[in-house]
Structure 1
Amino acid sequence: MDILWQYQFRIILLGDSTVGKSSLLKRFTDGVYSDVADPTVGVDFYARALDVEPGVKIKLQLWDTAGQERFRSITTSYYRNSVGGLLVFDLTNRKSFEHVRDWHREVTEHILPHHMVYILVGHKSDLTRERRVHRGEAEHLAAELGVRYVETSAKCNSNVEHAFELLARDIYELMKMGEISARDGWDGVKSGLTAKVLYPAEEEEEREKSCNC
C-alpha cells in the first residue's frame, strides 16, 4: 500500500552516459551500490518518499535517462513533464562537466515557456586521485546557471540523500511562494489525497499565532 503523500514531484536525472545516474538512484531508493552497472536504455523509473517538513510527505517520481545520443528522442519527451532535474557529471571525466551546459540548454528549450528547478551534482567524489574538475569550477558553473551544487558518491553514500532532499525542498519552497503549482495536463507536480493547503510565509505565521489548538 502506498504511503499517503501530500504532493508528487517528477524529477529527471540528466547527464552523459556513465556519470553514475543509475548508481545515485539505486543508492537513494534502495540503499544499495554495485560496481557493475548496465547502461540505461531509454528511461528507467524509481520512486521514494521524503518528509520536507513536519506533516508534509513528498513522493519523488524519479526518471533515469539514457545519456547516449541515440536515445535522445525518447528521453526528450520526459523533459516537459518534470518539475526538477539533477544535472549530473563525473568529477573524473572533464568532458561530462563540459557537457552540462548542453544538457541544461536542451532541456530549457524543450520546456519553454515553463521552467525546471535544477541542482548540479558532481559525482564520484570518492575518486580523489582521478579528479579532473575542481570544486571552484563547478561552483562557478552552478552560479552561472543559478543552481545549487553538491558533490556526491554513491559508492561511499556521501551526500546522496542530501542532493535529492535539497532539490525537493527547493521545489516545495517555490510552491509555497506560488511560483510552482499543479496544473491540468502536466505531471511535474501532482496533489495527493491529503494535500496541504499552502499559504505565503507571513499568512502562515499569522495563522499559527491565532490557532488555539
Structure 2
Amino acid sequence: MVKLSAKCLLAGDPAVGKSALAQMFRSDGANFQKNYTLTTGIELLVKAISVPETSDSVCSWQEPSFCFCFQEFFIFDSAGKDLFSEMLEKLWEQPNVLCLVYDVTNEQSFNNCAKWLEKLRAQAVGMHIPGVLVGNKTDLVGRRVVEQKQAQEWADKHGLEYCEMSVKEMKNFEAPFNILAKSFYQLYKEKVETFHSLA
C-alpha cells in the first residue's frame, strides 16, 4: 500500500463551518458540536483517507503543533479573521491541496472566496494545486442566497472542483476530502510516470 503525505489548507470566512467540517470528518460523523469557539490561527487535524477507486491511502492527524509526521495528510483548519492573516501566511507555506468553504446563506462569504483563493495560491506560485470549493449549510433551504449553478460556474472558472454539503445534517461532509485525496493521488501518479519516462 502506498502512503502519501499531503498538506491541505482549509479556508473561508468566519462561521461558514470550516471547523465543524474538519471535526465531523475526523470523527467519521460521530458528533456535531452545536457551539464552536473562534479558531485563532490554525488547528491541525489528521486522519487516514482512502483514495477513491484505489487501494492506496492519504492520511491526516489531529495534533496542535506537530508537523514532523511523514506519512500523513495534514488538514490545516484556518482562522477566518483577517486579524490572523500574517500568522496564516507563514503556516500556509507549500500546500498540496486547498479546501475553500463558504455559507450558501451568506453571499459575502461566497464573494470573499476570491480573496481567500488569491491568498492560498500566493503560497504556491507557479504550481498546480488541486482545490475544491465547498458550499455548506444546504439544510437552510429557505435562507439560501447563493445558487448551486452560480457557485459551480465560479469554481470551474478558477480550476476548482465543487460540492455542497450540510455538516449539521451530516450530508456529504466526506466529499471535499475524498475529492482532494483523489486529485492529490492523481498528481502523484503523474509525477511518478514523468520520472519513469526520464529514467
Q: In the alignment, what sits opposite 1:34?
A: 33
How many Å separate the matches in 1 of 2:187 and 2:129?
A: 11
Aligned alpha-carbon RMSD (Å)? 1.7
1:9 aligns with 2:6: yes
1:85 aligned to which of 85, 98, 101? 98
Q: Give the number of equivalent residue pairs.
A: 179
Measured in 2, the distance between the counterparts of 1:56 and 1:110 equals: 28
Amino acid paired to 1:23:
A
Amino acid corresponding to residue 113 of structure 1 in structure 2: G
Partner of 1:109: 122
Task: Give the alignment of 1:117-136 within 5 angstroms.
Answer: 117-136=130-149
Query: How far apart, CA to CA, are the structure 2 residues paired with 1:109 and 1:166?
Result: 22
Match of 2:169 in 1: 156
TM-score (norm 1): 0.79
The residue type equivalent to 1:18 in the other structure is A
Of 63-72 and 107-116, the range deviating more from structure 2: 107-116
Looking at structure 1, the residues matched to 48 and 156 of structure 2 have their Cα atoms a distance apart, in angstroms, of: 29
Distance (Å, rounded) in 2 between the aligned partners of 1:42 and 1:71:
6
Letter of the 1:35 partner, please give it.
K
| Other-structure match for 1:56 | 56
Alpha-carbon distance, 1:5 to partner: 6.2
Q: Letter of the aligned partner of 1:148 in structure 2? A: E
Which residue matches 2:66? Answer: none
Structure 1 position 56, deviation (Å): 1.1
Per-residue deviation at 1:29?
A: 0.2
Q: Distance in 2 between matches of 1:108 and 1:54?
A: 28
CA deviation after TM superposition for structure 1 residue 162, in Å:
1.5
Superposition deviation, residue 80 in structure 1: 2.1
**SS, match of residue 162 in structure 2:** strand
Whole-Å separation in 2 of the counterparts to 1:131 and 1:48 = 31
Say whether residues 1:23 and 2:2 are aligned partners.
no
Larger radius of gyration: 1
Q: Work out the CA distance in 2 between the residues paired with 1:114 and 1:54.
A: 25
Q: Work out the CA distance in 1 between the residues paired with 2:140 and 2:43.
A: 26
What amino acid is aligned across from residue 24 of structure 1 in structure 2?
L
Is 2:109 the counterpart of 1:96? yes
SS at match of 2:174: helix
TM-aligned CA deviation for residue 120 of structure 1: 0.4
What letter is aligned with 2:57? K
Superposed CA offset, 1:160-200 (max 9, x none): 1122101110111111112xxxxxxxxxxxxxxxxxxx547
- Name the TM-score, length of structure 2 as normaliser: 0.84
SS in 2 for 1:168: helix
Q: After TM superposition, where is structure 1 displaced by more than 3 Å over at least 4 residues in a row?
A: none
Identity value in percent: 28
Contact 1:152 1:159 (C-alpha < 8 Å) held by counterparts: yes
